[in-house]
Structures are given as structure tokens and as C-alpha cells.
Amino acid sequence: MGKSVVSIVRYEKPLESVRRAVDLCHGLDHLPNQAKVFIKPNIVFWTRTTPFPKWGVVTTSRVVEDMVILLKERGIKGITIVEGIVTFDPKDTETPAHAFESLGYQNLKKRYGIKTMNVFERPFKKVDLGAGVVLNFNEDTLQGDFLVNLPVLKTHAQTVVSLGIKNLKGLIDVNSRKKCHSPNPEKGLNYMVARLANKLPPSFTLLDGIYTAERGPFFEGKLRRSDILIASSDIFSADKVGAKILGYDPMEIPYLIHAAQDFKRPIDLSDVEVVGEKIEAVASRHEYAFPYTEDGNLPKPLEKLGVKGLTYRQYDDTICTYCSGFTTVILMAIASAWRGEPWNEVEILTGKRMKPSPGKKKTVLIGKCMVQANKDHANIHEMIAVKGCPPDLKEAMQALHQAGIDVNPAFFDNMDMAAGFFMKRFEGKPEFEESFFQIL
């Protein structure tokens, strides 16, 4: 078996740079004639209420349009952009439609005749991915002839990196996504993610690194203008090279270790040929973990504020998208509520695996999974439960009040508004261009 080719190209010009990345790795050479093609971008978050930082978080519309043009040049007529955006109301179809409209996909419809698809409005099919992993995938994509996978080049607080294989999580249903965040440490998130590509149709992966994210997958971390494109018809090789460019040996990425075993491939780059730019010329270390105290009991920003009497443990890989989305809002509200007087030994627990610490006077359990796991735990002196899946944000506010943390209700009236606060970081920075997410 020959080496898989991965191209690395500096982004310089619309269409020309993407074309070069595709041509160098021969990424579309195995595209069937008259293929039914699905394009999978990464729209990990969206809100209709406020502008938010999309750089390094959402796939640029520039790259999406360039790929559509290249497919049309090859005579492809059946092109569908497909994504499954998690919203806190499972019946919310307006937010995904707003995302597709705002990112210019409707203009692609008019110009090139492409279609758009919200996976949550379509049927799912149970797929056995091997190694005991069974998940429900979007049926349309499975029946397609070819998948163009367009993730963002970024690190991830739970999986170290979020690249080609991880991007496929957007094709599974909500129950499968929750299942991926298993409390079983032997078969947790990385074990599940590693199998997502096992039953794909033929595919091509292009990692969009025009903007990259440190401490992703959302916008709370550091977003950068990096101008890098990484492409390959082999998703595993693309991810290995992507990891190296983000500053990690593939051996440091748990899901890649699992994937190497599954694919019976080496974890290093010995079976990969890199063309175009050299890895060393474009690599830049992107941290993945948010800073916590050494004992993992408090985020560093709260420690710097001098917060006392509170334990807010470092997230683990069992917290799913629904509950993790609460974290930013809750931490912002807690920071704003600090007045210098220690709180009354409050502990806040998230995910599915954490256990209450002894000696705490009030224990706040966030989400259905955490409540079910610990509702009868002997270490709890006073339990404050925020039930539901997803949990109700106003119940979370009331729980914090009950715990003696007088958070401002304004943070909880519209959680999506919190995303807008992060836009201030990019004022006066012309390299962060909204135009990359527009199709005129």
C-alpha cells in the first residue's frame, strides 16, 4: 500500500489556494462521475440573537464556495451542504435555517443549484461502527456517493484536537452524541469519536485553517489568523498532519490512537507523504485545555479574582454539548457576582462521572445525568439539583441563588447573548474579517 498524500497550502487567494490544496493531493481524483455529493462544514454553534466570533469556530464560507466551484467544474450537479447544529430547543429549526442564510448558502443555491440540509429534519439510520460502537447517522449522507468534509483546524478541550474525524459527529443524532460522552472511561468520547469515519462513503477532507482556534471548539479560547489549508483523500492522514501543525504528536491524541488501531495503521507519519509546505514551516502550538488550578477545582480566572468558598471542577469528557454550553454563562455570572466575601463551601458538578467531595455544605448538580448519578451520594450535605436534559437555565440561576451566589438574572435571560460579549476582543483587528463568512 502506497503512502497517503496530504497537501499543506498557505491560503493566499480565493479559489486559487483551495484549488492548489485539492490538486496537490489529488483529492478529487476518485470522485465518481455524476456523484451525489454532500459537503459537511463545521457549524459548531449558532445564535440568531447577536453577532459572535466565527473565526476558527465555523468553517469559512469562502472555503465552502470554493469547494462548490471545484465540484461544479467536474460536472457534479447533486451537491448538498449538510450539518446538524445543536440547539437548546430540539424543535428549533429556525436557528439552523438562519445559519445557512447568514453564511450565504442560500446564495449558493441560487448561483449553483446546491441544496442545504439540517440533519435533524431528516431520518437517521443505526450503524454498527465496530468495537461495540453503534450510533445513528444521517441516512442521506450514508446513501451519498461522496463526502467533502470541511472541518476547522482547531484544538478541543475534550479531544485535544477537532479535525476531520471529529467533524463527523455533526452527522449523528442527539441521542448518539450524548452516548459518545459515556461515563465509561474505557469507552469514552475519544473511543467513540475514533470510529466515526468507519462506514463513510468515499471522501475528501480539507481542514480550513484560514482561522484557527486555541482552546476550542467554541470562541472562549484564543482565535488566530493562520492562513493554512490541509487536504487529503485520507481522513486519518489529514488528522495526523493537522495535529502536528497544531503542535501535537499524533501519539498525544487519544482518538487518533484508537483510530490507528481500528484502521491497522501506524500512528506516526511513516505512511504519509506531505506535499506543498513543510509541517515545520507552518506548525504553531495551540493549547487545548482551559487553565485551572493545580488541583483542578477552580478555573484560573476565578482564582485570579480571589474567589473563595467555591469548587467548580475542571470539565471532563462526559459533559455533552448541552451542558457544556451552560458553562460559559454560569462562569461569567459567577465572576460577576463575586464581591470578596467567601461563599459557603459550594461545589458545582457537571458531566456524568464526577462525585461529590466530602465537607461541602452545598452541592449543585447540573443536568439530568449528574443528578441521577449522585442524588443519593453520602457526601452531599445539601443537594441543589438542576434537572433536565438540557437543563433549564433559569433553574440553574435559581440553584446558584439557593447556594448563596447572587448571580445577575441578566446573564440567564438569553444565554445566546453571552456569545456577543466575546466580539469585543476583535475590535480594531482588521485581520478578523467577516467577509470570510459571507457569499455575495
Contact criterion met (CB below 8 Å) for 236 and 205 = no
What class has domain 4-288? alpha beta
Q: Mind giving me the DSSP string for 14-67?
A: TTHHHHHHHHHHTTTTTPPTT-EEEEEE-B----SSS----TTTB--HHHHHHH
Burial class (CB in 10 A: 0-12, 13-18, 19+), 23: middle
Is residue 203 a contact partner of residue 149, using CB atoms and an 8 Å limit? yes
Instruction: Measure the CA–CA gap between 401 and 132, rounded to whole angstroms.
Output: 43
What's 116-176 look like in SS3? EEEHHHCCEEEEECCCCCEEEEEHHHHCCCEEEEECEEEEECCCEEECHHHHHHHHECHHH
Q: What separation, in Å, do the N-terminal and C-terminal C-alpha atoms of the chain show?
A: 44
- pLDDT of amino acid 413: 81
What whole-number percentage of the chain has pLDDT above 90?
91
pLDDT at 97: 97
Cell representation of residue 390: 438540557
Q: How confident is the model at residue 1, as a pLDDT?
A: 62
Q: Give the lowest-confidence range in 41-55, 58-72, 78-92, 283-297.
A: 78-92
Domain boundaries, the chain: 4-288, 300-408
Say what the pTM is: 0.97
Can you tell me the distance from the alpha carbon of 123 to that of 125, in angstroms, rounded to the nearest whole number? 7
Best-predicted range by mean pLDDT among 1-10, 237-246, 389-398? 237-246
> Mean pLDDT in the chain?
96
Indicate whether 261 pLDDT > 80.
Answer: yes
Task: Identify the band that residue 437 occupies on the pLDDT scale cut at 50, 70 and 90.
Answer: very high
For residue 201, give the C-alpha cell: 462513503
- Identify the weakest region by mean pLDDT among 2-6, 355-359, 415-419: 415-419
CA neighbours closer than 13 Å in the CB half-sphere of residue 324? 23
| Location of C-alpha cell 487518533 | 256
Predicted confidence (pLDDT) per residue in 376-412, tens digit? 999 999 999 999 888 888 899 999 999 999 999 988 8
Examine the pLDDT at 248 and tell me if it is beyond 70: yes
Alpha-carbon gap, residue 202 to 257, rounded angstroms: 22
**Strand 146-150, strand 203-214: pairing:** parallel
pLDDT tens-digit profile of 309-358?
999 999 999 999 888 878 889 999 999 999 999 999 999 999 999 999 99
Nearest CA among 440, 439, 350, 371 for reference residue 63: 439
Q: What is the pLDDT of residue 418?
A: 83
**What are the pLDDT digits (tens) for 172-186?**
999 999 999 999 999
351: left (phi over 0), alpha (psi -120 to 50) or beta: left
pLDDT tens profile 116-151: 999 999 999 999 999 999 999 999 999 999 999 999
